[in-house]
Amino acid sequence: MQDKQATERPEADTTMQLEGIHHVTCITGDAPGNVDFYTRILGLRLVKKTVNQDDPTVYHLFYADEQGSAGADITFFEYPGARGGRAGAGMVHSVAFRVASEDALDFWEERLTGEGIAVRREPGRLRLEDPEGLGLELAVSRVPDEPLVALHPEIPTDVALRGFDGVRAFSADPERSRRLLEEVLGFTPGGGADWEVRGAARGGLYGYDPPPAAAGVPGAGTVHHVAWASTMDEHEAWQRRVAGAGLRPTPVIDRFWFRSVYFREPSGVLFELATLGPGFAIDEDPEHLGESLILPPAFEHLRSQIEPVLTPLQDPRAAWAR
Ligand code: ZN
C-alpha cells in the first residue's frame, strides 16, 4: 500500500524541502532612486538589469549579494511615477535582512541616520523604510546559513547585509494559511502566526501580523510577491503538490534565470516557487553582472523598442571606480 502510494503520488514525497526565500519582488516608481538606495546606501549589488517579462516596457531590477544568489535577491518592477501604495491584508509588509551582530546594527543606525533615513532600534533589530515606504528590517541572526554578502567600499563585510531573514505579511486570519504552509509547503510552526521554512542549505522566516483597518493598495513601496526556493529536480513535483492541495498554481514558467510557479496562498499573499538555477551568470560575465540591459532571448528582438523608453540608470559601480 505504501509502495503503491509512493508510485502514484510522487508529489506527496515528504522529504522535499524548500530552501528558504528565493527572492522578494516589489514595486518602485523611481528606478534611479531605487538603485541609489539599495546599492549605494544598503550596499547590495545590482546583479541584473532587465525588463518585466510580463510587461517588457518596464524595468525589472535585481539586487543581491556579490554572486547574485537566491536568498539575497530583492527585485523591483519599475512603473515610472507609480503612486505610493500601502500594505494591507494579504500583502507582505516588511522584508528582513540578516546582519551578524549588534555592532552591525550600530553601524547601520549611524549610516542610515547620516543619510537622513529614520530608523527604529530594538534589541536585535533595526527597522526602517525605503524611500518609497517599503518596510525593511535588519535582524541579528545566528543561523549557520552561508552569509550572502555584496562588496561595497564603505561597508565592511562583517557588518554587511547577509541575505534574507524573512518576510512578514498582514492577515486577519492566519489560521486559514496554516494547512498550506505546514502540510503542503513543509513550513515548521514557530508559535503563533510564525513559521520557518528550511532546506538542506538555507532557511527563512514567514509570519503574519494583524492588518491595519485600511485596505491595501498596490503601488510603489509595496511587495508584489515572495518566492520560495526549490531545487531544480523537485520544482515540478512542488507544482503538482500545490495543485493537488487545490491552490490552482500556474504551470511552470521559464523565467530564463530560473523557473517559476505562482499561486495565491489562502491569506491572499502571492507566492512563487522558483528554482535555484540556472542563475544570473548564465548570460553575463559574473564580473559585470547588472552593468548593461540584459534581455532574455525571447525578448532580444524588442531591444530597439524597449531601450529608448526605459529610464536611464547610473551604474553604481562605475561611480565608485571614479
Ligand atoms: Zn518572482
Q: Residue 275: what pLDDT?
A: 98
pLDDT tens for 118-172 read: 999 999 999 999 999 999 999 999 999 999 999 999 999 999 999 999 999 999 9
Q: What is the mean pLDDT of the chain?
A: 93
Q: Is 80 helix (H, G, I), strand (E, B) or coil?
A: coil
CA of 276 to the centre of ligand 1 (A): 12
- CA 272 to centroid of ligand 1, rounded, Å: 6
Is pLDDT above 90 for 105? yes
**Residue 2 pLDDT exceeds 70:** no
pLDDT digits (tens, 9 = 90+) for 239-257: 999 999 999 999 999 999 9
Ligand 1 centroid–CA 25 distance in Å is 6
HSE on the CB side for 308, CA within 13 Å?
3
Ligand 1 midpoint to CA 138 (Å): 22
pLDDT for 110 beyond 50: yes
Cα of 76 vs centre of ligand 1, distance in Å, is: 10
| Statement: residue 12 has pLDDT above 60 | no
Separation of 262 CA from ligand 1 center, angstroms? 8
Contacts of 115 (CB under 8 A, 6+ apart): 41
pLDDT at 10 over 60: no
Q: Output the DSSP codes for 219-247.
A: SBTSEEEEEEEE-TTTHHHHHHHHHHTT-
Tally Cβ neighbours within 10 Å of residue 156: 10
Cβ atoms of 54 and 247 within 8 Å: the answer is no
From ligand 1's centre to the CA of 167, what distance in Å? 14
pLDDT at 7 over 60: no
Residues lying with their CB under 5 A of ligand 1, a single-atom ion: 25, 227, 272
- What is the distance in A from the centroid of ligand 1 to the CA of 110? 32
Q: What is the DSSP string of 186-199?
A: -PEE-STTEEEEE-
Report CA(70)–ligand 1 centroid distance (Å).
11
- pLDDT of residue 3 exceeding 50, the answer is no
Which residues make Cβ contacts (< 8 Å) with residue 53, sequence separation at least 6? 60, 255, 256, 296, 299
- Is residue 263 within 8 Å of 242, Cβ to Cβ? yes
pLDDT of residue 6: 41
Distance 226 CA to ligand 1 centre (A): 7
CB 202 within 8 A of CB 242: no
Q: How far is the CA of 46 from the centre of ligand 1 (A)?
A: 16
Quote the pTM value: 0.94
Distance 261 CA to ligand 1 centre (A): 9
Distance of alpha carbon 252 from alpha carbon 1, whole angstroms: 31
Strands 55-64 and 45-52: antiparallel
Q: What is the mean pLDDT of residues 92-110?
A: 98
Instruction: Measure 26 CA to ligand 1 centroid, in angstroms.
Output: 9
What's the CATH number for 2-309?
3.10.180.10
* Domain spans of the chain, in order of start: 2-309
